[in-house]
Structure 1
Amino acid sequence: MRRSFAAALVGFLVLAGLQAQPASAASKKPSKVGLVTFVKGGYDTGSNRTSLSLDWPDARRAEKYEIFVSTSRSMRKAKVYKSKSSKSTIKSLSRGKIYYFQVRGVNGKKRGSKSSVVARPTILRPGTTDANAMRLRVMTYNVCSEVCDTSGYAPYPWSPTRQSSVLERVASSGADVVATQEAGRFSVPPNGYAQAVHYSAKRLFYNTARFDLAPGAAPSTTFDPATGCRLTSETGLPTGVIFLGRHAAGCRYAVWAELVERATGRSFMMVDVHLVSGKTKATADYRRSEIYQMLSTVKQTNTKGLPVIYAGDFNSHRETKPSDSTRTPMQGSKYYDAYDMARKLSGQHTSSYNSFRTTPVISAKWGNHIDKVWVDPWKVRVDSWSNFALLDAKGKLAQPIGSDHSPVLVDLRIG
């Protein structure tokens, strides 16, 4: 009897001590929530509503979390959701609409500081639902084989070491098509690939195990005597060069190729472009005019009505000043950034421009990617988007760094 009473007393004291701990912990404010990341996007074809899945680091002392969702940059009239874990899926969102998010930890009546605002559009259209759709993995990669020799920051000359690093990324990607820019010296096709077209430092490679270049003659090479620029090629050919205008101290071009899937005979058109760089109003206007010229020429050239995929260095993103001048003309022609339409995301906040820094360049709100793939979301489904930089165990860019850009990799289904 004495033993039972003593055991009960000890149990009561232990229980009282345990109960006192949460009350103490509850008096402490949770730490600020770290960078919130979008990991998935969903589209419900039955309701035409969408979803976004988020993940974030655990906040110290947080028992649960509040998720603030708004359609305004200022987070005005934000709707509040709750989560018991450091991840959540927000459903029943409007399609093709930009949403802004913040997260904070909650501990009893104490609330921590909110995270930085992050933003993402929801998927506009679900893309193809064809079970037999062509699956295509596309890489775009500015390899900087010339400009990095003499650019404003410390020169990084093209070398066998840098080329090996670039080739490693291509080999590891499993890409079907690789669109490269500033690739004049990147002249040897990666193993298993053939070069479809090359002009003005744009090189377009394709995986020969899956695709062939469409049959036909090479485009003619004629020049305008007034400007010295190459004229746009004829229609009905397997490859071509698109004249984008003469500005920024030279003639500007994009290239394209028609590729044929060997197993099925289905074709698509792949465009590789590098728009003029710069942060002035003039360069923004140049980029806009280049886009309009590219879209117009492709429309005239694509007499077969093939699906078109655009890839390259667009030198513009949502935070570009003075304007993100490429987005409006692209979306006006029903082409959207694959990053915005992706079902899965990896490396969202790491900029695709790395400036040869081992520490990743982070952009919280949007993820500032100037290297892009654009698709028609009425015909193409984007399964995944990835910043395909090679990182070491500490999350740094692995040495040697192949270029001042990191490759972007997307998985598509073309209907």
Structure 2
Amino acid sequence: MTRTTRTPLALLLVAVLALAGALAAVTTAPAEAAPKPGPVAGVTVGDARIAGSKASVRIAWRKAPRARGYQVLWARSAKMKKARTASVRKRSYTVRNLAVGQTWCFQVRAVAGKKKGKRSAPVCRRIAKPGQSASPWIAAASVTGTGTAARTQLTVRWRATAGARSYELDYAITPEPVVNYPLWENKARQTKKVTGPTAVLPGLTPGKIYCFQVRAITAGGAGDRSPTHCKYTMTADRRLPAGSPQALDVATWNICASPVACRTHPFNKRVDAIAARIKAANVDVAAIQEVPPGPVDDLTRRLSGFDRACTSGAEAVFVRTYRYRLLSSSDTVGTPHTNPGACWARIEPANGGDPVVVVSLHLKPGPTAADDRIRRTQAADVLAWVRDRFPRDHLVLAGDTNSNRGHDLDGPRLAWQSGSLMDAYDIAGAFRSYPVQNSMNNWETTPKESTRWGAHIDRVFSSAGIHVASWEIIEPQSGGRYTQLLSDHSLVRTGLLIPTS
């Protein structure tokens, strides 16, 4: 038998052919199918953000096995018919332009190339616009630090909104007139998120006007912002005095005892209850307006424990004798003139202390700008008259100013602030009654509210350094209505703490 000898070239050719056959076998073998991405779990639907008739909702979920991306689906029912979709790579997505007042359902599934995982179970939410929150108000204020490092802290409260899970309180320094500078347009606006109807705001600038709005966050989304409330912040010189300050509790009350102005509410039928309310207020000084001769004598006889320090026209000052004693008054020295009137008393603590001049006054009524200019002049004249005679005494001006911060020109405040006197309502450390209910009630049993400022024409102003510990309106209520109106004004009570020399 003849033996065949293979050359190296032939051997190489055989090897190449064998390798090619092996590669062909590999490429023609069926490939094993890649698995689909795993199911999506942990789908959550955030609270809706509502603007007008449209809402947006943030959807989030946990990472799915083998997912390279995700598909979000949403429709108006759990059957997910006519569902709209969006493709994303992240594990969250904000669905926008959802109609308010509808139920919306959401699903998510993982995607890997052309392969899609199983849809998650539908998660449905009704997007119903919640009600508007009530206006906030200031419950307490304090000052920390000194000089340029001084900062004011405010405690802000509001009525709870039904269904609220949390709240957003917006606030910012706002120039005057505040009505021209809407808070939601203020680029410096800050937002405090809280779970209940109270927020503490430290680090505010003293002596500035801040405005506030609140809105509720519910399962149905964010409600409309509340009406705006604005507040002047306590200044460093009005902080709680060191040591043992001299306490002086002051009430001011227009009791409408004029037989002309209040003829439908005879004073002789109210005087006993008026005297009882003044006593129950537990004040050292009561500045009374609209109490002409005759009625003032009737009231004096019923105010046991008080001395009538002065009267002038229809204004009076009563002093609680066991706490303070009278040094002099307008009954013997003379008085500044306002329209309708004013009287003053210089008093000191019964056990010794600094003298204080207290003025009861009633400034010109009237709604016009001309009336306001007259009130400003009257206020300036009173201050100049008193300061000319008592330049170093502590000073308290209390009465019916017929003006408040809501006026285009709050003349009395402007006149007295120039002399370093501040409104107790602006700088009080605590508010013991709902501060946006007006001090003038007009004999109406439903309380009137002025949410932007609190429209209090019955005011107490005090000189520099005096700390206003508290402010309140004393007017009994039940079920949201006044139960025993004794005048067309309510008694305003302030607790003052005077630094001693």
> What is the aligned partner in structure 1 of residue 496 from structure 2?
412
> What is the aligned partner in structure 2 of residue 382 from structure 1?
468
Q: Following the alignment from structure 1 to structure 2, what is the Cα–Cα distance between the partners of residues 24 and 163?
A: 64
Pick one of 159, 183, 201 that aligns with 2:291.
183
Distance 1:109 1:137, change over 3 A: same
Runs of 4+ in 1 over 6 A off after TM superposition: none
Aligned-residue CA RMSD (Å): 2.1
Matched AA of 1:170: I
> What is the aligned partner in structure 2 of residue 165 from structure 1?
273
1:348 counterpart SS class: coil
> What is the aligned partner in structure 1 of residue 255 from structure 2?
143
Work out whether residues 252 and 399 of structure 2, in 8 Å CA contact, stay in contact via their aligned partners in 1. yes
Instruction: Judge which range, 163-172 or 195-204, deviates more.
Output: 163-172
Pick one of 25, 29, 43 that aligns with 2:143.
43
Work out whether residues 28 and 61 of structure 1, in 8 Å CA contact, stay in contact via their aligned partners in 2. no
Instruction: Judge which range, 263-272 or 98-107, deviates more.
Output: 263-272
Instruction: Judge which range, 51-60 or 157-166, deviates more.
Output: 157-166
User: How many residue pairs end up in the alignment?
Assistant: 360
Pick one of 101, 104, 114 that aligns with 2:215.
104
> What is the aligned partner in structure 1 of residue 229 from structure 2?
118
1:285 counterpart SS class: helix
Q: Does 1:88 align with 2:199?
A: yes
Instruction: Judge which range, 325-334 or 68-77, deviates more.
Output: 68-77
Distance 1:217 1:354, change over 3 A: closer
1:205-284 counterparts in 2 under 5 A? 205-214=318-327, 219=332, 233=333, 240-244=334-338, 252-284=340-372
> What is the aligned partner in structure 1 of residue 75 from structure 2?
none
Matched AA of 1:206: V
Structure 1 residue 159, shift from structure 2 partner: 2.8
> What is the aligned partner in structure 1 of residue 95 from structure 2?
none
Q: Following the alignment from structure 2 to structure 1, what is the Cα–Cα distance between the partners of residues 195 and 285?
A: 42
Distance 1:216 1:165, change over 3 A: closer
> What is the aligned partner in structure 1 of residue 160 from structure 2?
58
Work out whether residues 26 and 110 of structure 1, in 8 Å CA contact, stay in contact via their aligned partners in 2. no
Higher RCO (CA < 8 A, seq sep 6+): 1
Q: Following the alignment from structure 1 to structure 2, what is the Cα–Cα distance between the partners of residues 288 and 60?
A: 44
Work out whether residues 386 and 408 of structure 1, in 8 Å CA contact, stay in contact via their aligned partners in 2. yes
TM-score, normalisation: structure 1: 0.82
Work out whether residues 246 and 353 of structure 2, in 8 Å CA contact, stay in contact via their aligned partners in 1. no
> What is the aligned partner in structure 1 of residue 419 from structure 2?
333
Q: Does 1:32 align with 2:101?
A: no
Structure 1 residue 168, shift from structure 2 partner: 2.2
Q: Following the alignment from structure 1 to structure 2, what is the Cα–Cα distance between the partners of residues 216 and 252?
A: 18
1:319 counterpart SS class: coil
Work out whether residues 128 and 414 of structure 1, in 8 Å CA contact, stay in contact via their aligned partners in 2. no
Structure 1 residue 150, shift from structure 2 partner: 3.4
Distance 1:131 1:82, change over 3 A: same
Distance 1:37 1:217, change over 3 A: closer
Structure 1 residue 41, shift from structure 2 partner: 0.9
Work out whether residues 241 and 253 of structure 1, in 8 Å CA contact, stay in contact via their aligned partners in 2. no
1:290-329 counterparts in 2 under 5 A? 290-303=378-391, 305-320=392-407, 322-329=408-415
